[in-house]
């Protein structure tokens, strides 16, 4: 029996046993073609909402000079706030993404743009650290990172194509485009639940393969007391919900560590089918982010990707996006494997990003 709302269709009836899987139904299932000619997934900021943001930016700067200390009540949005509350429900329980357009970043200082993005993020969740250096505000910018370096996450610091993946420590991932590339850098999203159903129709055994614990490489970001690898399923069934965590290259490189077995032929076949379906032009939704666009994505139900890009030779015109990882208080319950990567929030209920021992959370205004 299929359940609605992206909820789990089957799971274990006891240790070591798995009931037959069935398709997921509900708002989390979509195809990119569903949105052709539809503007439902976009919200353009009105003149009144922009005025409200400018007032909030000015007041927040005087209340809390350090952005990392800001709370939602420090960034009141009387009109836009209810809109964001509705969009948050769509992100968490619905299609899993929204595009907010029209932030006039060309007219704003870097700090003003970051404050606007941060403040909107506070109405969707709680920012968490994105790396061991405690960066609460990330920068997606080519700083010479090597996508193929097995000791680095690297991709967001390069101009390489980023295959479909989820980020590692958040319920919601947000991006604000400050500057577009000279060419390329197209953003793309796909429903993990649509991939699940398509895999189930083709080969249920491969769905089972991805529902088992799979070794992952930590890529050099190793919390104190942890091994350089961990295990987590791609398809995670827990308390009536199915969430997804997927970074293919972190799976491929895990066997470099002692104690991690080679990938089996069946796992490779399952991963290949997963990626083939993610790239299906009928399933994915492609979009070009313009300067001032903010994309917020459910990191548990929706995968994202980016095409390779060519940058402007002028350093001041290089492609640059700000990034937020957000813990959402209304997000779905998660199995323990989700917390094995970095740990939990203070209330032990949501992923809490990552941070090095003794490091203070901080908000850098440019890529480091």
Each residue of 177-230: pLDDT tens digit?
Answer: 999 999 999 999 999 999 999 999 999 999 999 999 999 999 988 888 889 999
Give the rounded percent of residues in the chain with a pLDDT score beyond 90: 68
Contacts 24+ apart (CB under 8 A), 65-74: 66/363, 67/114, 67/115, 67/118, 67/136, 67/137, 67/363, 68/127, 68/136, 68/361, 68/362, 68/363, 70/118, 70/119, 70/122, 71/122, 72/122, 72/123, 74/122
Which residue intervals of the chain are DSSP H helices? 47-63, 80-93, 110-122, 192-202, 204-210, 248-252, 265-278, 336-340
Report how far apart the first and last C-alpha atoms of the chain are (Å, whole number): 50
What's the rounded mean pLDDT across residues 335-359? 75
User: Does residue 77 surpass a pLDDT of 90?
Assistant: yes
User: 297: which 2 tokens?
Assistant: 């994505």
Q: Is the dihedral of CA 286, 364, 319, 289 positive or negative?
A: positive
What's the rounded mean pLDDT across residues 149-154? 59
Angle in degrees, 0-180, between the axes of helices 47-63 and 80-93, rounded to the nearest 10 = 90
Entry field: residues in the chain: 368
Reported as a pLDDT band with limits 50, 70 and 90, residue 104 is: very high
Give the rounded percent of residues in the chain with a pLDDT score beyond 70: 89
pTM: 0.91
- We find that the CATH architecture of domain 41-354 is 4-Layer Sandwich (3.60)
What's the rounded mean pLDDT across residues 114-124? 98
Cα–Cα dist 114/178, whole Å: 10
State the average pLDDT for the chain: 88
User: Does residue 368 surpass a pLDDT of 80?
Assistant: no
Residue 121: C-alpha distances to residues 75, 84, 220, 326 (Å): 10, 9, 28, 7
pLDDT digit string, tens, across residues 306-345 = 999 899 889 889 999 999 999 998 899 888 888 887 666 4
Number of H helices, E strands in the chain: 8, 19
């Amino acid at each position: 029996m299929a359940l609605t709302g992206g909820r789990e269709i089957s799971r274990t009836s006891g240790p070591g046993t798995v009931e037959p899987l069935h398709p997921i139904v509900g708002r989390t299932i979509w195809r990119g073609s569903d949105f052709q000619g539809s503007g439902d997934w976009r919200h353009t900021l009105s003149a009144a909402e922009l005025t409200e943001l400018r007032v909030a930016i000015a007041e927040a700067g005087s209340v809390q000079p350090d952005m990392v200390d800001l709370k939602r009540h420090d960034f009141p949005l009387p009109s836009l706030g209810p809109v964001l509350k509705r969009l948050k429900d769509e992100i968490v329980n619905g299609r899993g993404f929204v595009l907010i357009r029209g932030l006039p970043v060309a007219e704003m200082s870097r700090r003003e743009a970051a404050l606007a993005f941060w403040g909107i993020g506070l109405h969707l969740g709680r920012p968490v650290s994105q790396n061991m250096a405690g960066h609460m505000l990330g920068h997606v910018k080519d700083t010479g990172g090597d996508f193929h370096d097995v000791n680095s996450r690297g991709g967001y610091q390069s101009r390489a194509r980023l295959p479909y993946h989820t980020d590692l420590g958040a319920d919601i991932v947000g991006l604000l485009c400050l500057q577009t590339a000279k060419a390329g850098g197209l953003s793309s999203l796909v429903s993990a639940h649509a991939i699940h159903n398509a895999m189930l129709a083709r080969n249920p055994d491969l769905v089972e393969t991805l529902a088992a614990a799979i070794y992952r490489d930590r890529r050099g970001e190793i919390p104190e007391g942890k091994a350089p690898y961990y295990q987590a399923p791609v398809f995670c069934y827990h308390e009536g919900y199915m969430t997804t965590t997927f970074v293919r290259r972190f799976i491929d490189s895990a066997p470099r560590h002692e104690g991690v077995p080679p990938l089996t032929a069946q796992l490779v076949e399952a991963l290949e089918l997963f990626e083939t379906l993610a790239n299906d032009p009928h399933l994915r939704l492609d979009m070009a982010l313009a300067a001032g666009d903010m994309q917020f994505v459910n990191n548990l139900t929706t995968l994202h990707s980016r095409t390779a890009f060519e940058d402007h030779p002028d350093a001041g015109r290089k492609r640059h996006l700000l990034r937020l990882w957000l813990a959402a208080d209304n997000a779905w319950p998660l199995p323990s494997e989700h917390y094995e990567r970095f740990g939990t929030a203070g209330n032990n209920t949501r992923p809490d990003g990552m941070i090095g021992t003794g490091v203070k959370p901080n908000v850098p205004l440019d890529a480091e």
